Amino acid sequence: MNIVIVSPEAVPFAKTGGLADVAGALLQGLSRTGHDAFLFMPLYRGVRGSIRPKEAARGQKIFMGERAYYFDILSQRNAFFISNDYFFDRDGLYGDSRGDFPDNPERFAFFCLSVLHATKILGIKPDIYHLHDWQTALLPLYRRELFTPADNAAAVLTIHNVGYQGIFPPETLPRLGISGKFFTIHGIEFHGNLNLLKAGILYSDRVTTVSPTYAHEITFPEYGFGLEGSLRWKGVTGILNGIDYDLWNPADDIHLKRNYTIQTLHGRAACKEELLSVCRLRDRSLPLIGSIGRIIAQKGYDLIADCLEDIIGLGANIVILGRGDRDIEQVLQRAAARFRDRVHVSTLFNEPLARKIYAGSDLFLMPSRYEPCGLAQMIAMRYGSIPIVRKTGGLADTVTDFNSGSPEGTGFLFHDADRNDLVECIKRALCVWKNKRDWNRLTRNAMRLRFSWEHSISQYSALYGSLVGRQRNVPQA
Ligand code: ADP
């Protein structure tokens, strides 16, 4: 099959979030399994310097609304880059220090149109367009409306976080060259605005997201951010992301004081020693909790801030690494200043320190309000740091609760996003930590788990197979 992956970012070219990992892993993995996979993404300023591209096509002209735009296509093996300096030669992918770029709808609508032209020019006959997030979500509508497709390609849209939808004022519509007939409640209208993700949901053939539990959750108002009705109508398939087990490996991680495996777990003690001394925390005999992530309410960092004193009272130390919301950061930093030898907070992006935390902490805290998939908890388990997570989305799909009766537990789960539930769960975890036999079993269980990309790729592959040649379920405009 010819699979055209259309993504606003992809590893190793440009990354701001997990979607880049998925797009990159799909490109590599699908090619290995005998498909012809092609990636299309914008040529951002940062990408230009990091690739050695060939020129695939020059000076292509397209119309979007009343205006003509031009683009070139550069390529490096099976990755194709849409080049237009006016839209993409900027610092930042979606915005800069002043916020989101105001012309983001035009930038990514243009990207979708260019990809449709590019596949034609390059003679690629897609069986599947695999789209990622709102930036690529207009492609099925454009394809249906502005092209007379010779092929019978199907469109799969993967939503990486339904909290980001690409909502813009209605005046944007003509600039994107989209007819007013689509601006209805059964089309791309959303509370008087334009919603690009909604267009993708309606006009794609299949919608997926990055874990089975999140796929279910987003069809309800609590998690659907207003799109639950459209998602329920379309149906959502959940396919769990993987992690790269070579990239995240405590046996050869150069940032660790001592490398270790499941057979040499005592190596973790040296990593904990080092982490405590890097963070200037005292009392090595106490359990150490780590947490790494974007400091935002979605990730539950306001809850962590609320229960820091409880954590100290329960006799644990805590190390937090992340940046995000200034207000939450400040609360955490004030606590770190007050309990200098028990709490450490670093608001940097620092991968070496992240690796030391995965290896040196006993427990890993991730109390997300919602979590489409989550990588940090998978990495923590790979390194033998036991997750304490809220039972939601990908966290619920990757962590199994431990109680002394269950031999297969890998962490601790709690239900409600409130301080009481979280503190009770931490208490339970700290109790188990005191029993070295149980703790050892838990650590081994966690380290043995595998969430491989191969497994995800084979699920995507089966999904593509099920779509080829089928009748489609899209609304009539
Ligand atoms: P997200 O919603 O941000 O994609 P994930 O858990 O899926 O959350 O992935 C977060 C990734 O980013 C993990 O690999 C984590 O180690 C890394 N990370 C997050 N914040 C930091 C930071 N401040 N320094 C280093 N790595 C970080």
Helix (H, G, I), strand (E, B) or coil at 470: coil
Q: How far is the CA of 438 from the centre of ligand 1 (A)?
A: 29
DSSP code per residue over 92-118: SSSEETTEE-TTHHHHHHHHHHHHHHH
Ligand 1 close to Cβ of residue 391 (< 6 A): no
Burial class (CB in 10 A: 0-12, 13-18, 19+), 99: exposed
Ligand 1 close to Cβ of residue 315 (< 6 A): no
**Per-residue pLDDT reduced to its tens digit, 324-368:** 999 999 999 999 999 999 999 999 989 999 999 999 999 999 999
Residue nearest to atom 17 of ligand 1 (CA): 293
CA distance 346 to 354: 10
Give the residue from 8, 2, 11, 435 showing the smallest Cα distance to 244.
11
CA distance 225 to 218: 8
Ligand 1 close to Cβ of residue 294 (< 6 A): yes
CA distance 244 to 93: 24
Ligand 1 close to Cβ of residue 210 (< 6 A): no
Whether 471 shows a pLDDT value over 70: the answer reads no
CA distance 176 to 179: 9
Residue nearest to atom 15 of ligand 1 (CA): 376
- Amino acid of residue 334: R
pLDDT, position 352 = 95
- Cα-only R_g, the chain: 24
CA distance 475 to 371: 30
pLDDT, position 50 = 87
Give the rounded percent of residues in the chain with a pLDDT score beyond 70: 97
Whether 470 shows a pLDDT value over 70: the answer reads no
Q: Which residues pair with 69 in a beta bridge?
A: 62
**Per-residue pLDDT reduced to its tens digit, 35-68:** 999 999 999 999 998 899 999 999 999 999 999 9
Ligand 1 close to Cβ of residue 293 (< 6 A): yes
DSSP character for 53?
P
Spatial strand order in the sheet of 343-346: 343-346, 317-321, 288-292, 363-366, 386-390, 412-414
Q: How far is the CA of 477 from the centre of ligand 1 (A)?
A: 41
CA distance 243 to 21: 9
Sign of CA dihedral 248, 291, 323, 341: negative
Whether 477 shows a pLDDT value over 60: the answer reads no
